[in-house]
Amino acid sequence: MNTPRRILVLYAGGTIGMVPSSRGYVPGAALPDYVAEQTAQYDDLRPHRWHVESMAPLLDSANAQAGDWYAQAQILWRWQDRIDGAVILHGTDTLAYAASFLSFLMQGFGRPVVITASQLPLGVQYSDAPANLLAALRCALLSDLHEVALCFGGQLLRGNRVVKLGPSPDEGFASPHWPVLGDTRRHATLHGQYLLPKQAISAAPKLNGISASVGLLRLYPGIPASVVQAVGQAHPQGLVLEMYGIGAGPSINRQLCTALGQLHHAGTPVVAVSQCPYAAVKDLGVYESGQAFAQQGVIAGLDLTPAAAFAKLHYLSTQGLLAESAQWQASIQTPLVGEVTP
């Protein structure tokens, strides 16, 4: 008989455990009891040891911030020597950010970290919560999984590659630039060729991420330079710039370009990603309108999602890995946990 595995289930909040109130749906406290019932009910789950812990306070994920994901990472690292895997129950609104942050913060953890959520709460008719939860619990038992992954809608996706598409339980998330890691509709099966290889177990990174300030700005027609200046000043550790298509922007706005150059010289790395989920910014020199941005120090973010670029800048800043501007491009474009295709 296989040795029972020890799994930590961390309940952070989100729709999956919400209950109705006079203020609308809010996170409820009963989800840990439901997890205990499920793990005792199924033959393949019953032999294993499950510990459920709730964050305080439980959050609607629309209110989640970087500090919350650093706090979750701290809990997981404290449990490292006592567990064989972890499940995080989260909300969908900021799930792509959570999965991206945790993918960097859990490097060297050496165990599967599976995040799941739902579009409808438990107990609501046609809710996707029971299926997503059961699938995530089963994926956390997989010894061949060594990364942070999202289990949702019958699929297992690399956490730092996901984007939210909409409110559909079946098609809520996609991984535009990396294949599906596994199928969870009946049994949890992995597609081994797409997984991250097992790496040496290491110590936790610096987890003081609240000190970093990184921003994200979407270009739009007529955007004034003052917006870039204000956002850059508010977020001196980095700025993710969502550009058009494969890396175009309003280069005719010379004040805007100058403002980006000023950020670069002030020590704020600016990373360009695409507004289009299925496009990538591989070369800012393709169009004149992109070349003008590159000349101001803007870095092509390749196929990083906006959430992954945001999280990576945050991580690199807190780890002290963005000290030299000459190294910014290599740091952004070199994959750490499968988040970007070099």
- At 302-317, the pLDDT tens digits run 999 999 999 999 999 9
Asked if residue 217 has pLDDT above 80, the reply is yes
pLDDT (tens digit, 9 = 90+) per residue, 240-293? 999 999 999 999 999 999 999 999 999 999 999 999 999 999 999 999 999 999
Quick one: fold of 212-333?
A: Rossmann fold (3.40.50)
Secondary structure letter of residue 326 according to DSSP = G
Confidence of residue 1 (pLDDT cuts 50, 70, 90): very low
Mean pLDDT of 314-326: 91
Q: 6-194 belongs to which CATH class?
A: alpha beta
pLDDT (tens digit, 9 = 90+) per residue, 12-48? 999 999 999 999 999 999 999 999 999 999 999 999 9
Confidence of residue 209 (pLDDT cuts 50, 70, 90): low
User: Which pLDDT value is given to residue 17?
Assistant: 95
Distance CA 106, CA 70 (A): 10
Parse the chain into domains and list their residue ranges.
6-194, 212-333
Mean pLDDT of 1-11: 90
Q: Which residues are catalytic?
A: 92
* CA nearest to 69, candidates 205, 190, 187: 205
Helix axes 129-139, 31-41, angle to 10 degrees: 60
Distance CA 164, CA 99 (A): 12
Distance CA 176, CA 55 (A): 31
Return all residues near 108 (Cβ < 8 A) that are at least 6 apart. 199, 200, 201, 202, 203, 204
User: Which pLDDT value is given to residue 187?
Assistant: 84
The neighbouring-strand residues paired with 9 are 52, 87
Mean pLDDT of 47-74: 97
pLDDT (tens digit, 9 = 90+) per residue, 133-166? 999 999 999 999 999 999 999 999 999 999 999 9
User: Which pLDDT value is given to residue 211?
Assistant: 73
User: Which pLDDT value is given to residue 203?
Assistant: 86
User: Which pLDDT value is given to residue 170?
Assistant: 81
Common-topology check for domains 6-194 and 212-333: yes
Largest CA distance in the chain: 69
